[in-house]
Structure 1
Amino acid sequence: MYGHAAFAVSFLFLGLYFFVIPFVYYLIDRKSLRKYPQLSIWSGISDVPFMLEAQKGFRSQKLAELHKEHPVIRIGPNSLSYGTHRAIKDIYGHNTRCTKDIMYDVLSGSHFHLADVVDKVDHQRKRKILSSAYAVKNLEDWEYKVADMTNRMVKAFDTRCTEPLESGRPVEKEDLTIDFWMWANYFAVAAIANIGLSEDLGFLEQGSDLVTSEAPGGAIKKAHFKECLSATAWAQSNLVWSYDWYKSLVKISKLSSVYRKKWKLNADWDGIVLNRATTRLKRYQNGEKLDDFFSALMHDKSGRPHNLEWGEIVAEISIMMNAGSDTTAIAMTNVLYHLLKNPDCLAKLRQEIDDVFDDGSVAPYDRVRNLPYLRACLDESLRITPPNTFGLPRRTPSEGAQILNDWVAGDTSVSMSAWVAHRDEEVFAEPERYIPERWLSESGKDLQQYFVAFSAGARGCIGRNITYLEQYVLLATLVHHFEFALPSPDWQPARRELFTCSPGPMPLKVWKRST
């Protein structure tokens, strides 16, 4: 009898906590958010609808459909999504009063890194330390590292070339000798490890991303880099949207075998980062003078130490290995896909590249960095399929903020997905078409202010110069040396949105190009 009574009381308490009280707050509407259209009829009282949308795997596409009719959508009790270019400056611009959302605090480890630090003063300190590492001058000094990885990629593809595809013949399954998504990851991870830590992971020779993972106690094991990174993003991006309940949801999710596996891989990911950090630290302590990102973390150009805590150094290495590889691999896969689907664009790009290519196996950065059509092809791919799709959430200041000429109450989460922003027809005509030429016209420069693939304002991506360097050199080299074919003319990638939007496996037939 007491058991039934206890169950009834618990059921009543849960009903009050999760439904009645939120519904009362919804009716009171102290922040005046009820006036906005909602993602779901339940979005005003719960974050669950947005979490369910995240589970489906492409929440930004759903938002893009809704934003065709509504510039602002309520996606949670305290969250608004924006869908017009006019909101970019208000939310992300240099003069915005919005700060990083508490989501970044929820997901951070023991120490913040540059991408998740919320405090503006601390962000300025970090950016000052790291700006020299990401400066264009440093990138030019590190070009040889990108060229080396590109040359290894060419060699790997040389061994996997097939006979040229005869006109009118379909691609045979046995001729699909490379998964470009996989190889783009090998390249991007190997390149950033070399640039950042002077470490040669050997992925492009191995044809594998097997790497050492180190537990806090020192035990080591082998783990697959991409599998661990994707598992981390999968679990976090499904659950994080209910900030107050995130830590509890993580514990509850471990009752599921699927989530248990993901969180185990998440621990392996932390171990991969730790091993990269400890391996590089030992070389530093042994007196090796290496010009890389790690050195910039340890001291400035004149040798004055930054005296960062070890946890902060590990955090910065984590975001470098994460964002510094994943987004580049996605961007490279997407741009090759778009070029193969638009052969006229590919032919035009090849003509531009062939005109500046010398006899070497790798495209020289100084010859391709200023090619207008190459940059246009890259930017158009970043527009139509931005790697970082999730709506980088910001928080209005306590006194509130003006967004789209509308006053939004303080401490409200506001965001805009790059996938949505780049489909605003007021700015980008025929947004679903791949049209590199739009960036070359007289109005091309005007489009840049609405191009948010790297976010915008003071919190814009500090690593954009690195990814452009890698993409310039690798794309120019590959399209100069090789021909590629998709499995079929109507083939499309299976995209899955976590925080980034992965195109997934892209099997290709490859053969040597006659130049």
Structure 2
Amino acid sequence: MAFLDFVHSLMSRDFTMSASPNSLLQVIAMGVTTHLYFRKFEPQNPIALIAILVSEPILYIVVQNPTTLNAFDVFYIYTAFLLSVGLSIVLYRLSPFHPLAGFPGPVMNKITQFRSIWIQWEGHQYLINKRLHEKYGAFVRVGPNELSVTDIDIALAILGPGGLPKGRFYEARHDPRAPGNVLVLRGQAHTDRRRIWSRAFTNESLEEYDEPLLKRVQYLIDRLAGAPAPTDLSLVISLFALDFMSDMAFGGGFDMLRDDSDGLEVRSMFDKFGISLSLLCHAPWAVSTLVHLPALSKNILKLRKFAVEWGTNRILRGAVTKDLWYHLYDEAGLEKEKPSTRQVIAEGSLAMVAGSDTTATCLASLFYFLLCYPKCYQRLQAEIDEVFPPGSGVSNMLKHIANLPYLTACINETLRLLPPVPTNGPRQVPYGSGRRIFGGRFIPEGTQVYTPPYSIHRDPRYFSPLTEEFVPERWLPGGISEDQVHNLSAFIPFSHGPANCVGRSLARKEMMAVASAILHKFDIHAADGFDSREWPEGLRDHFVTIRGPLLVNLASRF
């Protein structure tokens, strides 16, 4: 009540300013000092930030003689304080004293992170980053404390052993109510969890997935054979990928290809989860507060609840096959200490997204390129027909996909031009390390460093000529001349180093099987009125890629 009486007394005074010029200097000094404090002790949530910004002017007013101040003085003090804090931040971030002052980039990106958040909301981060690298070079300052690097030697050093660890971007992906999964863990914890994941993707383990993969491929072919024209091939492949993911991760349970309504709901849930989480990752200091906003939290919690339900059902059902859960839960008893149920369930949402979304994106992109490049389509279909004569069944396909070099080349070229994770998550120079040196450049502690595959793969220093064109021949022996550039080290669609994609071998097998089966059974044409060349305009980068419809007409060949 005393505070309300104080405010009322201020508001009841006249609006003739009584604060002195000396008071203005004091308020400005207070604002600059607050910025210096923020630099050293960054608030970890918006509530703490707001509390500091609101309380400091109040304390200043109390120290002054409040009986001599009126409402205009209060407004004057608050305005001067907030402007001085903001202006101090802007000037420092643009000044030569900022640790990243030597790196070029757009002024707005240097000033505020809100620019990155807006770009992420639109899903155009991968495109804008590429344009920035074309303008500024291999190092671009894409945020107040963020860099993007396309020099492949430096990128590999950052991602490789002894490089930079995952930072606050990944911390934002960690549910504080659950143990961390392999994506967010660091150091020895990541090494231990990665070892368990790796068991699920040895050559022996991969054979366990052959039977469910072939079964799902046959369901896919049957679904396409009975699909009305036009067919959204991107969606149907997504439903297939979800079904196979459930077999691979949980021993079965999904039947999205048979029930479109369920599939559309799950697909939408995955997309909304990706959008919400990607936005949070660009404001890690505010995650503890933003995660409670209904618009963001409902999408994240819905998928996590979904993953918990499937993990719980898998526990109750027990092992039917040696699925991913079999290895993560250590049902073979190979670990000294069995992972807890909570730990394994924490991997559920990661397995769902990583086990379906990335392969579906690559397959949809592959068919987009084949529609745009008819000669490549004809050559690939001829190769498949040579290996699989008319009447060949799906059951024998996995035995012969190694004999499809042009299909492998087409998939590689698709991964080069449209990697499913186009920007990748950043690594961070650890606090307390002072700085790290890469390629002779000093990168200060706390800096987030991106190594975007989309920009690297489309850099003519590594792939040229026809850098922006779909040229599968560049991946074949003798497919390029000596004066052409084809740097395999710069091909990182599955990332690089200790934290690369553990399931890449299975993903390749899945893509080879699906592509060869569809191209063997059907002739594919873009639907009337659908311009397939415009399809990339519907791609959105929310850590993984969100896609629009790919409308085609299918005709059975045999």
> SS where residue 420 of structure 1 aligns?
helix
- Does residue 269 (structure 1) correspond to residue 303 (structure 2)? The answer is yes
The CA distance in 2 between the partners of 1:478 and 1:362, in whole Å, is 14
Aligned equivalents of 1:4, 1:282: Cα separation in 2 = 67
| Partner of residue 217, structure 1 | none
Structure with the greater alpha carbon radius of gyration: 2
Contact 1:481 1:512 in 2 (8 A): yes
Report if the CA contact (8 A) 2:170-2:281 is conserved: no
Q: For residues 547 and 396 of structure 2, what CA distance do their matches in structure 1 show?
A: 26
CA distance in 2, matches of 1:348, 1:207: 33
- On the 8 A contact 1:78/1:413 being kept in 2, the answer is yes
Answering whether residue 76 of structure 2 is matched by residue 42 of structure 1, we say: no
Equivalent residue runs for 1:245-324 within 5 Å: 245-251=286-292, 254=293, 260-261=294-295, 263-284=297-318, 288-299=319-330, 301=332, 306-324=337-355
8 Å CA contact 1:84, 1:424 repeated in 2: no
Contact 2:250–2:314 at 8 Å: present in 1 too? yes
- Relative to structure 1, the CA distance from residue 464 to residue 208 in structure 2 (aligned partners, 3 Å threshold; closer, same or farther) is farther
Q: Does the Cα contact within 8 Å between 1:82 and 1:416 map onto a contact in 2?
A: yes
Q: What SS is found at the alignment partner of 1:68?
A: helix
Shift of the 8–293 alpha-carbon distance from structure 1 to 2, 3 Å rule, reads farther
Q: Where does residue 105 of structure 1 map in the other structure? A: 171
Counterpart of 1:116 in structure 2 is 184
Query: 1:338 offset after TM fit, Å?
Result: 0.6
Tell me how far apart the structure 2 counterparts of residues 116 and 423 of structure 1 sit (CA, whole Å): 28
Establish whether residue 58 from structure 1 lines up as the match of residue 128 from structure 2.
no
| Equivalence for 2:252 | 199
State the 1:23 CA deviation. Answer: 3.0
Separation in structure 1 between the aligned mates of residue 384 and residue 191 of structure 2, nearest angstrom: 39
Q: SS at the partner of 1:449?
A: helix
Query: Does structure 1 residue 355 correspond to structure 2 residue 386?
Result: yes
Q: 1:349-371: per-residue Cα shift (whole Å, max 9, x none)?
A: 11211122262145521200342
Deviations 1:457-489 (A, max 9, x none): 111110111211110111100000011111357
How far is 1:30 from its partner?
4.7
SS at match of 1:484: strand
Task: Say which of 217, 241, 250 aligns to 1:188.
Answer: 241
Q: Give the aligned partner of residue 265 of structure 2.
A: 224
Query: Does the 8 Å CA contact 1:47/1:241 hold for their aligned counterparts?
Result: yes
Select 1:435's aligned residue among 471, 479, 483. 471
- Aligned twin of 2:370: 339
Task: State the match for 1:166 in structure 2.
Answer: none
| Correspondence for 1:329 | 360
Shift of 1:243: 2.3
Q: CA deviation at 1:43?
A: 2.3
* Whole-angstrom CA distance in 2 between matches of 1:52 and 1:482: 41
The alignment status of 1:366 with 2:399, answered yes or no, reads yes
1:37 positional shift:
1.4
- How far is the alpha carbon of 1:10 from its aligned partner? 4.7
Partner of 2:546: 502
Tell me the CA shift for residue 400 of structure 1: 2.0
Q: CA deviation at 1:248?
A: 3.5
1:138 counterpart residue number? 205
Q: CA deviation at 1:433?
A: 0.3
Say if 1:442 and 1:190 are closer, same or farther in 2 by CA, change over 3 A. same
Which of 410, 414, 421 is equivalent to 1:377? Answer: 410
* Partner Cα distance (1:313, 1:7) in 2: 54
CA distance in 2 between partners of 1:127 and 1:464 (Å): 14
* Deviation at residue 300 of structure 1 after TM alignment: 6.0
Cα-Cα RMSD: 2.3
Partner Cα distance (2:211, 2:83) in 1: 62
Structure 2 equivalent of residue 235 of structure 1: 276
Which residue identity does 1:126 align to in structure 2?
A: R
Q: Work out the CA distance in 2 between the residues paired with 1:361 and 1:207.
A: 23
* Aligned counterparts of 1:378 and 1:237: Cα–Cα separation in 2: 27
Q: Which residue of 2 aligns with 1:415?
A: 450
CA 185–209 in structure 1, closer or farther in 2 if over 3 Å, else same: farther
AA aligned to 1:511 is A
Match of 1:226, SS? helix
DSSP-derived class of the 1:43 partner = helix
Deviations 1:407-452 (A, max 9, x none): 2122211112111010110111122100111111358896331111
TM-score scaled by length of structure 1: 0.86
Whole-angstrom CA distance in 1 between matches of 2:427 and 2:223 = 43
Deviations 1:215-251 (A, max 9, x none): xxxxxxxx92111111121122234213223334445
Taking the aligned partners of 2:84 and 2:179, their CA distance within structure 1 comes to: 36
Shift of the 140–353 alpha-carbon distance from structure 1 to 2, 3 Å rule, reads same
Structure 1 residues 513, 345: closer, same or farther in 2, change over 3 A?
Answer: same
Provide the identity percentage: 23
Q: Is the 8 A contact 1:298 1:305 kept in 2?
A: no
Cα separation, 1, equivalents of 2:276 and 2:549: 20
Q: Cα deviations across residues 367-413 of structure 1 (Å, max 9, x unaligned)? A: 00342111111010011011101232011241322223212122211
Match of 2:5 in 1: none
For 2:111, what is the secondary structure of its paired residue?
coil
SS of residue paired to 1:152: helix
Q: Is the 8 A contact 2:290 2:296 kept in 1?
A: no
Q: Could you report, residue by residue, the CA deviation over 1:124-169 in whole angstroms, capped at 9, with x for unpaired residues?
A: 10111111112122112211111000000111111126xxxxxxxx
Match of 1:448 among 478, 488, 507: 488
Distance of aligned partners of 1:314 and 1:8 in 2 relative to their CA distance in 1, 3 Å threshold: farther
Q: Which amino acid aligns with 1:275?
A: E
